Amino acid sequence: MMCHQVAMTDSPEEEKVRQYAEKGQEIPWRRIYQVPEHVYFSHRRHVAVAGVECGQCHGAVAGLAVPASYPLVTQSMDWCLACHRTRGATQDCIHCHR
């Protein structure tokens, strides 16, 4: 709820997000990003621990009036590794592959 905890617009769609969170219900997202089953990805580790901004992985979502219907960023293993190299994060296979 980092982005939508406080209303940013008067959009009823944005309010739906807050209502799901308030009720403790999972949001029925329409996924546009999907990592392969053998890849482990933790939003917590990337956002809360490493301080990665949402837009770095998801593109310019903050400027959208409605949720994106297609990936705004092409994600790949090379793309992830380039970010890890830039930030000095681990490149050890076992940290992302299960």
CA distance 8 to 45: 26
CA distance 39 to 94: 10
Give me the pLDDT at residue 4, please: 67
Question: pLDDT tens digits, the chain, 98 residues: what are they?
Answer: 666 677 777 778 788 888 998 899 988 888 899 999 999 999 889 988 999 998 999 999 888 878 899 999 999 999 999 999 999 999 999 999 98
CB-CB contact of 53 with 46 (8 Å)? no
